[in-house]
Structures are given as C-alpha cells and as structure tokens.
Amino acid sequence: MQSMPDVSPTKWHLAHTTWFFETFVLKKWLTAYRAEIPQYAYLFNSYYNAAGDMHRRDLRGLISRPTVDETHRYRSSVDSDIDDLISRADEKLFAEIEPIVILGIHHEQQHQELLITDIKHVFAQNPLYPVFHERQPSQDYGSASKIDTVSATTRPMNFIDFEETTAEIGHDSSGFSYDNESPRHRALVPAFSLARRPVTNGEYVKFIDADGYARSEFWLSLGWMTVNEQRWQAPLYWIKRDGAWWNFTLSGLRPVDESEPVTHISYFEADAFANWSGARLPTEFEWERAAKIDIDGNFVETETFHPQAGRSSGQDRHLAQMFGDVWEWTRSAYSPYPGYRAAPGALGEYNGKFMCNQYVLRGGSCATSCSHIRRTYRNFFPPEKRWQFTGIRLARDPS
C-alpha cells in the first residue's frame, strides 16, 4: 500500500534495496551479468538520474506485479550473485567492491527505518487502527507510570551550559560515513545551553492548550501558511476523543502518555514550540559538539517502535536521549560542508542533490538501527514533513 507520495510500499522497499546492489555492484563488476527482468531497473530506481529513467514515486502503490513472492525471489537471486562475486574476488577487486557493498548495507538500513514509518502511516489510515507490534509488558508501567508522568511533566526542563569553542565538525574517517558528513572542518560554536532531554507530550499539550497553533507570532511565515492550509492542531497521528488526546502508535491507538517525547511534528511545529517556550532549536554544530557521549538509547533493536519516557531523575546533569527515541530537528539548513563535492556519477546523487530546502535532524529514532547512527550523522527532511519519528530538543543563548 502507498498512503501518500512520500510513503513507499513494503514490497517496493524490498525490491529497491536489491536494485541498489544489482545496479551498482553486479552490473558494474559482473561482466556477464544479465538482469532476469530488465524492467525492474525502471520500477525500482528511486531517484538516480544517472542510472536511467524511473517510475513515478507517487505511483509506487500501483505496482501490483512483481508479487511479494517474486520480489523475494529477486532478492535471493541478487544476494546469491553478490555472494558469488565477493567469494571469487581477489584482493584488488574486493577493495573496489567493498565500499559499494558497505554503502548498500547502510542504504538498506535507511530503508528498514522507512519500512517502519511507512507501515505506520499506512496503518494510521485504517479506522481499525491495526497493531503492528504488541506492546511489551515492560512498556506498561502501571500505577508507577502515573507518578512518573506527574514528575516528568511538572519537572522543569534543565539546561546544560556549553562554553564557546572551535569545534571539529564532521566525520573523522574512522569507519563508514556518508559523504555529507565530510569534509571534517572547524566551526566556531559560541556559548549556548542545551536542554537535558527532549520535549515531552505533556509540555507539547501545554503549547496546544495555549492556542499555540492559532497564534501567528510563534510561526515562520511558511509554517503559518502550512498550519492553516493543513489545519494542523496537534502532531500527526493525534486525535481527540471526549476531550482527551490519543495517538496512533505501532501498537495501536493509545492515550497520549505525557511523559514520552513528543514526536511526528514538522520543523515548523518544533520551531513554533521553541518560540512559545522562550527558547530556540539548536544548530547542528551545537548538537554535534554536545553529543560527545556514548551512543546508547531506544533504537529499533528494542522493538518498542515508539519513543520512551526518560527514566533518569530531574537532578541529572547529563544529556539524556540524545540518541534514539526521536530525530531532533536542528535549525541548520541542510547544506554542504566547506569543501564538499559530490562524487561523479550516480552515487554522487545519494546526498548532494538534496542540499536545498531541507533541515538537518540528528541522533536517530526508535526506528533507526543502533549500528546505523553516528554522532556526525546528518539526516534531512523538508520542514513540513511529519511522518518520521521527529521531535524537539531546545537550546538557549546565554542569558
């Protein structure tokens, strides 16, 4: 199913990630390679103009053939050809192939995240609110959660101060990274404060109750237009029943838990909330400078498929939930780092051509693999998009 142009059917994700290996590895290095079904190249190319023509993105839901079984056969066949190629490759050939295979694996991890968020969007259109994954008992805090909720919503948001510094920004070239994380360079990061934890649903409800969605003074011009055109009154997947907020999760429709990080909000909403609360969003440089901590958090491996309430006490002076739970919108436009040049050819289209009209998000979400994220990782989405697990961490200038 395809519930909107940004959402791809599960089957399409399975085929497209396979197409990536077929196109950029098999067709390049297996001289005798002949695609069994050459038309797949057209159906499952996403956006690589240098790799040929492609099917329209908004029509992916109409690809009734190949069937799911045929798609799995396509995957198995390409997988086994890749296996053969790698096992027969000498050292020189392997050195050429390896970076593309690794890129293909990271590409597949990105699509695994989209699989989750796309299934959520599709399920949310069904009034039966299907359950993708039953909630685990560990997610139900029972009466203890009531206490947690109260403390989380009444607890003031602590900020941690950072002094001015010239920070090294970007990947240090140990291990894999995407090209948009390079070149590593120095950036002046003036003194700032960063919120210890993401904004909660409880805090966001206060913004809604303060008529935040109806007060133009908090909104960017484009955001104000969007909020009125789309008639947004709450995050995506929230509905009001008998005066109470509910939200659709991958475990079905549930009352909004005030202690969980707010998610499925656009950049516009994140920015408006920050303005309302007298703060601002961090820059991606502030975020990266602050995130010199172990990568640990609620990632897809926990199989909760939903952001979790913070567990640590209000006295804690350490940054919490920087990684996992929700992607954090930054106020940084997605732009090339100084000296960045996209690689020639189709793979140069991976990131570089999207560096316009999008904002950088950091830290990964409950749908991201733990092995996929990095401190220097730059995700990006247009400011009106809400179907990813996106959230808010506030920043402030020194008072």
- Interacting residues with Fe ion (CB under 5 A): 46
Dist. CA 41–CA 55, nearest whole Å: 9
Q: What angle do CA 361, 362, 363 make, to 5 degrees?
A: 140
Contact between 39 and 66 (Cβ < 8 Å): no
Q: Strands of the chain (E only): list them.
A: 159-162, 165-169, 185-189, 192-195, 238-241, 244-249, 252-255, 327-333, 359-362, 379-381, 390-391, 395-396
Q: Which is nearer to Fe ion, 2 or 332 (CB)?
A: 2
Q: Which is nearer to Fe ion, 276 or 354 (CB)?
A: 354
In this structure, what token pair is assigned to residue 397?
């200038």
* Least CB distance to Fe ion at residue 103 (A): 11
Dist. CA 95–CA 107, nearest whole Å: 19
* Least CB distance to Fe ion at residue 290 (A): 30
DSSP state of 353: G
Helix (H, G, I), strand (E, B) or coil at 248: strand
Residue 156 CB neighbour total at 10 angstroms: 6
Closest residue to Fe ion in the complex (CB): 46
Q: What angle do CA 241, 243, 245 make, to 5 degrees?
A: 60
Q: Which is nearer to Fe ion, 116 or 291 (CB)?
A: 116
* Least CB distance to Fe ion at residue 73 (A): 21
Q: Which is nearer to Fe ion, 17 or 332 (CB)?
A: 17
* Least CB distance to Fe ion at residue 234 (A): 31
* Least CB distance to Fe ion at residue 17 (A): 7
DSSP state of 45: -
Q: Which is nearer to Fe ion, 18 or 46 (CB)?
A: 46
Residue whose structure tokens are 């096992």: 87
* Least CB distance to Fe ion at residue 18 (A): 11
DSSP state of 134: P
For helices 143-154 and 201-209, the axis angle rounded to 10 degrees is 60
Please compute, for residue 329, the number of CA atoms within 13 A of its CA located in the half-sphere on the CB side.
31
Please compute, for residue 3, the number of CA atoms within 13 A of its CA located in the half-sphere on the CB side.
13
Q: Which is nearer to Fe ion, 54 or 239 (CB)?
A: 54
* Least CB distance to Fe ion at residue 6 (A): 13
* Least CB distance to Fe ion at residue 118 (A): 12
Q: Which is nearer to Fe ion, 111 or 386 (CB)?
A: 111
Q: Which is nearer to Fe ion, 110 or 145 (CB)?
A: 110
In this structure, what token pair is assigned to residue 208?
């809604």
Label the pairing between strands 395-396 and 390-391: unpaired
Q: Which is nearer to Fe ion, 71 or 275 (CB)?
A: 71
* Least CB distance to Fe ion at residue 381 (A): 15
In this structure, what token pair is assigned to residue 160?
């941690």
List % helix, strand, coil for the chain (3-state, nearest 5): 40, 15, 45
